[in-house]
Structure 1
Amino acid sequence: MPTADALALAAGSLPAWSWNPVADLREMWAFPFMVNAFRAGTVVAVGAGVMGWFMVLRRQSFAGHTVSTVGFPGAACAALLGVSVTYGYFAFCVAAALVIAALPRSGRAAVGHESAVTGTVQAFLLACGFLFTTLYKGLLGGVTSLLFGSFLGITTGQVWLLTGVTATALLVLALVGRPLLFASVDPDVAAGRGVPVRLLSTVFLVLLGAATAGASQLTGTLLVFALLVMPGAAAQALSARPATGLLLSVVIAVVVTWAGLIVAYYSPYPVGFYVTTFAFGVYALARGWQYARGRLPARPALAAGGAA
């Protein structure tokens, strides 16, 4: 629930940008809910940057979109039951990840079956989400924040929960990172070498569900996909090295999240819109740089024994 300071800010006039960054940041961080928003945003961005890089590498963007979509009915169901929407996000997103992991993956027919089942369940759960919001009248004013994100209602308890979940997810990912990278680049060879490809896929999807649930609370369920896919895609366009790509993905995710929070503080529009817009801008620049770099002529090799 939004704090008293957050409600007062939302009800009053928008703060004015003074063009003094230090003073503006001090004024912004004078509100505890904004401090919580930046803390949660940083934690969410780190998790989304790492998971998103692997998601793009593994070509599981559709799975990430599906997991992010079901966060909306999860949050709505939790509100209807009278519990924190955070638990709804995590329960539904992780459950959706397990369902996707259980579907068969080999063969053309299996791929078609997976797409059909995923799309059907996704559509049904979205309809359930709107049903839950109708049954619980008090949530009708918060549908926009669930779909497109809000920084007004993040509490200290949610920040600690997000930190714990993200830290756990990153620890598990660090433990399985090397075989997961091998299985992501060449699953057939990895399976032939005895790597448990199916188990690693399941573990990763569960971690992706946890990261999605965390990011949904900031960007909204419809736009969380942008924070997952765009930093990772931009990072892979800039560097093919795993360590460099992961670092770039995290940095991009944190920068666009902070930029989105700052602009949203001075704007009446949802924070998810700004995070998505900035992330798309970075992705477009990365793709432009990749194209320009590919078009540049190669440097001529120095002849052996050339003039000094």
Structure 2
Amino acid sequence: MIDLDTYLQLLGLVQNSIIAGAVLGLVGGLVGVFVMQRDMAFAVHGISELSFAGAAAALLFGVNVVAGSLAGSLVAAILIGVLGARARDRNSIIGVLMPAGLGLGILFLALYPGRSANKFSLLTGQIIAVDSPQLAWLIGISVLVLVGLLVLWRPLTFDSLDPEVAAARGVPTRFVSLAFMVLLGLIVAVSVQIIGALLVMALLVTPAAAALRVSSSPVVVPLLASAFGFVSAVGGILLAIAGSLPISPYITTISFLIYVVCRLVGRTSTRRVRAAV
């Protein structure tokens, strides 16, 4: 255990990570709602593997890691969006992309001659990995994703809940789907910088899944998902400062505990409603 003075000093050193985690938790929670509605949790993992490969390539060739992560994510997102219009096709494409991305990432890391900590952080996150230029990138990308979600909110909601009727009503479902995949790719690339490629679903899937367990309101669910994502990200960082483990185990544990509590609350509420009926 560390004393309070040392903890406060460490807190000042990782303020960029705290800010980035807070922004990521809020925006990731909103994106996660549509991920769950569109049954695309598997796609998040597939995109993260290509994002990992892009970041590893950038690390090997000495270029901006965020840019490499973005490139890998966008390639995966566009491929899934264009080629995987149907769920069966989408899952097949993701199943092909995942091992390819992971294999390329491992190859690039094996060839990288630098510090092993840099390699490990791409998989599990690193609490002090966010410097000021990276923070600017992360906030800018997160704001872009948020604005994109707000612009697409109504047609995206319609397409997520009932794509056949949405298409019949004139909603450009193919464009909406591809645009959402691009936004998803952007936020996955940001998430890899904080929590790592292997556990990115803890911020883009679990908070939204927890929120859907306790509510079905189109207003309450996004608010809860953002709140759960915020608590998971910031709480994980604050706990990781005092420990010696990477940041990702703390974030994933908090996110999982929130989901368990919400599942229990949702089950209790369902039983009460059935008993009343």
1:158 maps to 2:140: no
Task: Using the TM superposition, give the Cα deviation of residue 134 of structure 1 relative to its aligned residue in structure 2, in angstroms.
Answer: 1.6
Q: Decide whether the 8 Å contact of 1:264 with 1:271 is kept in 2.
A: yes
Aligned residue for 1:29, secondary structure, equals helix
Which entry has the higher C-alpha Rg, 1 or 2? 1
Aligned residue for 2:21, secondary structure, equals helix
Separation in structure 2 between the aligned mates of residue 289 and residue 64 of structure 1, nearest angstrom: 27
Separation in structure 1 between the aligned mates of residue 84 and residue 193 of structure 2, nearest angstrom: 31
* 1:102 match: 82
Q: Decide whether the 8 Å contact of 2:46 with 2:97 is kept in 1.
A: no
Match 1:236 to one of 192, 199, 212:
212
Task: Using the TM superposition, give the Cα deviation of residue 150 of structure 1 relative to its aligned residue in structure 2, in angstroms.
Answer: 0.7
1:115 maps to 2:91: yes
Deviations 1:31-78, CA, capped at 9 Å, x for gaps: 2xx111111111111221111111111111111111112221111100
1:288 maps to 2:268: no
Separation in structure 2 between the aligned mates of residue 176 and residue 256 of structure 1, nearest angstrom: 26
Q: Decide whether the 8 Å contact of 1:45 with 1:215 is kept in 2.
A: no
> Structure 1 vs Structure 2: percent identity of aligned residues?
34
* 1:86 match: 66
* 2:51 match: 71
* 1:224 match: 200
Shift in alpha-carbon separation, 1:288–1:85, aligned structure 2, 3 A = same
Please list every run of 5 or more consecutive structure 2 residues that lacks an aligned counterpart in the other structure.
Answer: none
Q: Decide whether the 8 Å contact of 1:17 with 1:266 is kept in 2.
A: no
Separation in structure 2 between the aligned mates of residue 178 and residue 17 of structure 1, nearest angstrom: 49
Q: Decide whether the 8 Å contact of 1:133 with 1:139 is kept in 2.
A: no
Shift in alpha-carbon separation, 1:272–1:195, aligned structure 2, 3 A = same
Q: Decide whether the 8 Å contact of 2:129 with 2:193 is kept in 1.
A: no
| TM-score (ref. length: structure 2) | 0.94
Q: Decide whether the 8 Å contact of 1:236 with 1:245 is kept in 2.
A: yes
- Count residues with an aligned counterpart: 277
* 2:105 match: 129
Match 2:190 to one of 214, 234, 242:
214
Deviations 1:211-261, CA, capped at 9 Å, x for gaps: 111111110000111110000111111111111111111111111111100
Please list every run of 5 or more consecutive structure 1 residues that lacks an aligned counterpart in the other structure.
Answer: 1-14, 302-308
Aligned residue for 1:105, secondary structure, equals coil
Task: Using the TM superposition, give the Cα deviation of residue 127 of structure 1 relative to its aligned residue in structure 2, in angstroms.
Answer: 1.0
Separation in structure 2 between the aligned mates of residue 241 and residue 300 of structure 1, nearest angstrom: 21
Match 1:48 to one of 19, 28, 48:
28
Task: Using the TM superposition, give the Cα deviation of residue 140 of structure 1 relative to its aligned residue in structure 2, in angstroms.
Answer: 3.4
State the one-letter code of the partner of 2:23.
Answer: V
* 1:141 match: 117
Range with greater deviation from structure 2 (290-299 or 45-54): 290-299
1:35 maps to 2:22: no
Match 1:249 to one of 218, 225, 228:
225
Separation in structure 2 between the aligned mates of residue 39 and residue 297 of structure 1, nearest angstrom: 40
State the superposition RMSD in angstroms: 1.8
Q: Decide whether the 8 Å contact of 1:67 with 1:96 is kept in 2.
A: yes
| TM-score (ref. length: structure 1) | 0.85
State the one-letter code of the partner of 1:272.
Answer: S
Task: Using the TM superposition, give the Cα deviation of residue 298 of structure 1 relative to its aligned residue in structure 2, in angstroms.
Answer: 5.9
* 1:4 match: none
Shift in alpha-carbon separation, 1:55–1:112, aligned structure 2, 3 A = closer
Match 1:173 to one of 133, 149, 152:
149
Match 1:198 to one of 169, 174, 181:
174
Q: Comparing both structures, which one devotes a greater share of its residues to helix?
A: 2
Shift in alpha-carbon separation, 1:104–1:74, aligned structure 2, 3 A = closer
Q: Decide whether the 8 Å contact of 2:123 with 2:196 is kept in 1.
A: yes
Separation in structure 2 between the aligned mates of residue 119 and residue 178 of structure 1, nearest angstrom: 30
Task: Using the TM superposition, give the Cα deviation of residue 141 of structure 1 relative to its aligned residue in structure 2, in angstroms.
Answer: 3.5
Separation in structure 2 between the aligned mates of residue 56 and residue 114 of structure 1, nearest angstrom: 15
